[in-house]
Amino acid sequence: MKNNFLMLLNRFFSERSFALRTKVLVYSLALIITLAIALLIRQGPFNDSETRLILYLFHVLIFASTFVCGLAPGIIIATISTITAISSLGKNWFQLSQMTFHEAEVFPFIALYYLVAITVDWFREHIEKLERQLAEIEELHERTRQMEKLALAGQIALGIAHEIRNPITVVHGYLQVLAQKQPELEESYGLMLDELMRANQIISDFLSFSRPRQLQKVPLQLNQVLESSVSLIAGKAVRSNIAIKTDLAYDLPILLLDHSQMMQVFLNLFNNAIQAMPAGGTLAVSTEFAPEQNVVRIKIKDDGSGITPEVLQQIFDPFFTTKDQGTGLGLSITQTIVAAHGGQIEAESKVNEGTQFTITLPLPAAEAELQV
């Protein structure tokens, strides 16, 4: 009930920037003064200059109530003022011919009452619109400043990420040497090497996502790229009790590929598969040539946890992850690299049965391209 009354009051006063209390106060004052003058004039008599002063005073009241409270209150005060002005003549205002020049002056006054209300309302509305636009511009400026700061922080992070890779590579190299010298500590060294590879992978993902590198495509035998990727995760697979089965087609045509980026694609998929099989399992990697469609297909299949249909819809989204330590960039980057090669990647999965990723890569358009 109270809320309804407040809503009605707000609507009556229009959406002005003044507080409701101020509007009620100003309007009540204007209304009281206008009505008081109206009563006074009826009791008259007033001489010409007094009447004129009163008629001017109405302008001030109309101006104040329209400016603070809006058009409707302004028009109400203007109407009371009009009635008062006419009754101050004390005669039938249709009989214009009987009016003196001074009496007829009341009509321009009345016209001005309404003009004041309408004009003040129009200006007020436009001033408020300008104020809102200025506030929006100010907010946009602030957001741009924030974006600039973020971009700078991103640049710095990129620089740091790039620099961290060098010490990682050096430590990785020395660890490999030590692992060969101390075969009895193979497991510990293996774990350290895996962790370093993980750190390196996170940095690579971050760098590829923020600064996608131009592809450097060269004619390559896809099976070789796959085999070198497999060999990189072979140790990890053994430690995770995972058997790797490869079934590579011998008749694959030569493709135009960026070697390191395609390796990144396969490593992302292998790592996901290994992570999906914490209790061990089988990672199957196969290739086939489909001459009818002029494409080569690579299938990477695990018999791990599988993916629910809801999660499956989001796995290629950047930063989407279901893992505590995941960045969620792996598949997004993988998809970008495959698309940059003109190919596609698809996933099929069944919960508790496993997941299969299929990459389809086109053959080079013309034999000539292979001479690049």
Ligand X SMILES: Nc1ncnc2c1ncn2[C@@H]1O[C@H](COP(=O)(O)OP(=O)(O)OP(=O)(O)O)[C@@H](O)[C@H]1O
Name the site residues for ligand X (rule: CB under 6 A). Answer: 205, 268, 272-273, 276, 302, 304-305, 307, 311, 315, 320-323, 326-332, 355
- Decide which of Mg ion, ligand X, none touches 284; Cβ closer than 5 to 8 Å per partner kind: none
Other CB atoms within a 10 A radius of the CB of residue 103 amount to 17
Distance CA 75, CA 67 (A): 12
Q: Is 182 or 314 the residue whose CB approaches ligand X more closely?
A: 314
Q: Which does 350 bind (CB under 5 to 8 A by kind): Mg ion, ligand X, none?
A: none
Nearest to ligand X of 184, 324 (CB atom): 324
Choosing among Mg ion, ligand X, none, which partner's interface includes residue 328 (Cβ < 5 to 8 Å by kind)? ligand X
Q: Facing residues of 344 across strands?
A: 360
Asked if residue 272 binds Mg ion (CB under 5 A), the reply is: yes
Query: How far, in Å, are 47, 81, 157, 184 from residue 178 at the CA level?
Result: 114, 100, 32, 11
Rounded Cα–Cα distance for residues 92 and 371 (Å): 105
Q: Judged by CB under 5 A, does residue 305 bind Mg ion?
A: no
Q: Does 336 bind Mg ion (CB under 5 A)?
A: no
Shortest distance, CB of residue 272 to Mg ion, whole angstroms?
A: 4
Segments in 182-321 forming alpha helices (H)? 186-210, 222-239, 259-275, 309-312
Given the complex with Mg ion, which of 293 and 322 has the nearer CB atom? Answer: 322
Find out whether the peptide bond into 45 is cis, omega within 30 degrees of 0: yes
255 φ, ψ to 5°?
Answer: -120, 160
Q: State which residue, 205 or 258, has the beta carbon closest to ligand X.
A: 205
Smallest distance from ligand X to CB 232, Å: 15
Amino acid identity of residue 110, one-letter, is I
302 binds, among ligand X, Mg ion, none (CB under 5 to 8 A by kind): ligand X
> Which listed range, 30-38, 157-165, 264-272, 309-317, lies at the site for Mg ion (CB under 5 A)?
264-272
Q: What DSSP line would sit under 210-239, residue for residue?
A: HSPPPP--EEE-HHHHHHHHHHHHHHHHHH
Taking CB under 5 A as the rule, does residue 70 contact Mg ion?
no
* Residue 102: C-alpha distances to residues 64, 91, 98, 136, 149 (Å): 27, 14, 12, 51, 70
Q: What one-character-per-residue DSSP string does 88-104 give?
A: HH-S-TT-GGG--HHHH
**Choices 27-35, 38-46, 57-65, 324-332 (CB under 5 A): range interacting with Mg ion:** 324-332
Residue 327: name its binding partner from Mg ion, ligand X, none (Cβ under 5 to 8 Å by kind): ligand X
Query: Is 335 a binder of Mg ion (CB under 5 A)?
Result: no
* Nearer CB in complex with Mg ion: 272/349: 272
Q: Binding partner of residue 363 among Mg ion, ligand X, none, CB under 5 to 8 Å per kind?
A: none
Give the containing element (helix H, strand E) for 123. helix 106-181
Chain contacts with Mg ion (rule: CB under 5 A): 272, 330
